């Protein structure tokens, strides 16, 4: 049953936990500041400095999770349909948070929401294509 849970719920949960630790919680307008503050700097061989923020780390982890979700969507088992449905619920949840709460009106959360949408679309498209391939009509 754990395979039915969309893995992109993890970055959404992490973002929610970050917002809950802000002073105004979901109504905090300083969520963008927390997401864009530099955590550390990497010195590149070109002598440039790459400042890495919490939002950057969350987006990088979300992209890895999206890749795993796309691999999961290629299975045509019954549990995949449940996963796609839960991904749709997660997308609606993310969209509501993005539209209604100031702490979620950031580019970081928008991109995580976009990844959830891509997971939903890819899941349904892959399932439809694989189902169409499974149903073949022979020449009689």
Q: Which pLDDT tens digit goes with each residue over 76-112?
A: 677 888 888 899 999 999 999 999 998 999 999 999 9
- Within a domain: residue 140? no
- What range defines the domain where residue 38 resides? 2-134
- Within a domain: residue 106? yes
Give pLDDT tens digits for 6-41: 999 999 999 999 888 877 777 777 888 888 889 999
C-beta separation of 2 from 9 below 8 A: no
Candidates 11, 33, 22; CA nearest to 106 is 33
Q: What's this model's pTM, rounded to 2 decimal places? A: 0.84
- Within a domain: residue 139? no
- Distance (Å, whole) CA 39 – CA 35: 10
Percent over 90 (pLDDT), the chain: 54
Report the residue count for the chain.
140
Number of structural domains (the chain) is 1
The residues with which 43 forms a beta bridge, in sequence order, are 49
The residues with which 51 forms a beta bridge, in sequence order, are 41
- Distance (Å, whole) CA 41 – CA 49: 6
**Alpha-carbon dihedral sign for residues 8, 13, 18, 20:** positive
- Within a domain: residue 72? yes
- Distance (Å, whole) CA 4 – CA 139: 37
> Which run of H or of E encompasses 84?
helix 78-100
Q: Residue 140 pLDDT > 60, yes or no?
A: no
- Distance (Å, whole) CA 118 – CA 123: 8
- Within a domain: residue 20? yes
C-beta separation of 122 from 70 below 8 A: yes
- Distance (Å, whole) CA 134 – CA 52: 46
- Within a domain: residue 17? yes
């Amino acid at each position: 049953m754990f395979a039915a849970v969309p893995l992109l719920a993890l970055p959404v949960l992490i973002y929610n936990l970050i917002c809950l630790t802000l002073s105004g919680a979901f109504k905090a307008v300083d969520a963008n500041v927390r997401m864009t503050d530099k955590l550390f700097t990497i010195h590149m061989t070109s002598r440039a400095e790459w400042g890495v923020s919490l939002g950057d780390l969350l987006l990088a982890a979300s992209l890895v999770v999206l890749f795993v979700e796309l691999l999961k969507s290629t299975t045509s088992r019954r549990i995949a349909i449940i996963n796609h449905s839960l991904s749709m619920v997660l997308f609606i949840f993310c969209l509501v948070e993005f539209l209604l709460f100031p702490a979620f009106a950031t580019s970081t959360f928008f991109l995580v929401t976009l990844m959830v949408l891509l997971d939903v679309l890819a899941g349904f498209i892959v399932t439809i294509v694989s189902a169409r391939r499974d149903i073949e009509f022979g020449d009689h």
